[in-house]
Each structure stands twice: as C-alpha cells, then as structure tokens.
Amino acid sequence: LVSDTNWGPGRLRMLTQGPGRLISIAYAEDGGHNVVTNLPVGRSPEGFTISDDGRRAVTVNMERTYLPELWLLNAWPGRSRYTLSLVAIDPATGALTRLGRNVAAPGILPEDAAFDRSGRNLAVAVFHRRSGEDRRRGFVDYFTVVE
C-alpha cells in the first residue's frame, strides 16, 4: 500500500485539491507488478497503518490543517479538523474497499496512527489543536472501530 496526497504541481493546488488516494500494488516475482486498487480517501493522506491481521487499514488525512493562521484563510474548509478513512483489505487479492464515511476530529497535522492488537481500537498522534488553552500541545486521539 502507498498513499498519495494528490497535491499536484503548484502551491495553489494545496488549496484546491480533491481527495487523496490509497493505492494497493500487487508485486509479482516475474516483475509484472500492477495496481490492484486506486481508492479515493480524505484530503492529504500522508500516512496510514494496517491492522495486525492485515484486514483493515486507516489513512490519516491532514485535510487542509497545514494552512497558516491568516485572516484570508480562516474560513477555508478543512483547516481545523483532520479525518480518518477506514478501508478493508482483501487478504487474497489486496483489493481495497472503503468502510463507511470519513471520521473527522478536531486537531491539526495528524502525524501517525496505530491499531491495537485486536484491530478494534486506533490511536492517532496529532501535532496540536488550532485553538484553546492547550492548543500548542500534541495529543493522542483514541477511536473504536465499529462494524
């Protein structure tokens, strides 16, 4: 698996980009590698993690939380909440399927995620919040995967 932020060329693209992608690639011993799935996820999926059983992945999507504190950008969508995209992985083929909608949470610049051993809980490391008393302190968000 590999993630693609979908930023493309030019700085303005970081304001207008659509969803990023999680891409599944099948590797063959003879070198005939091919893309199995090219799945749209949230905006700017810099990272992802795979559950221990290999059946689930989650992308950590920055959305547009990297935008600075400038009055012109304050109303720009996606500045104060990151999202997660839960994905099923077919163990036989590597095919990817979206599970539900993106989950949004307050915070900017999510850094990484990890499933617990059961694959039912997820921890997400987040750089900090956009506002509030503890806005410059990093934190960990916890989520439970619900079927």
Cβ burial, residue 78 (10 Å; 0-12/13-18/19+): buried
| pTM, 2 dp | 0.90
pLDDT value at position 80? 84
Count the Cβ atoms, other than its own, within 10 Å of residue 103: 19
Per-run averaged pLDDT (10 residues), the chain, 147 residues = 86 79 93 94 94 96 85 76 96 96 93 94 90 79 91
pLDDT value at position 58? 97
pLDDT value at position 70? 75
pLDDT value at position 9? 76
Question: Taking Cα atoms as reference points, which of 54, 49, 44, 52 lies closest to residue 21?
Answer: 44
The answer to whether the beta carbons of residues 20 and 4 sit under 8 Å apart is yes
